[in-house]
Amino acid sequence: MGKIAPDFTLQDLKGRQISLSDFKGKVVLLDFWATWCGPCIKSIPNLEMLYTKYKDEGLVVLGLNDEPDHAKVEQFAQGKMSYAVLLDAKRQFAEYGIRAIPTLFYIDRNGKVRYMEIGFSEGKEKDMETRIKELLGPKSNKEPSME
Spot the catalytic one: 37, 42, 115, 125. Answer: 37
Query: Is residue 37 among the annotated active site residues?
Result: yes
Residue 129 sits at φ, ψ, to 5 deg, of -65, -40
- Please list the active-site residues: 37
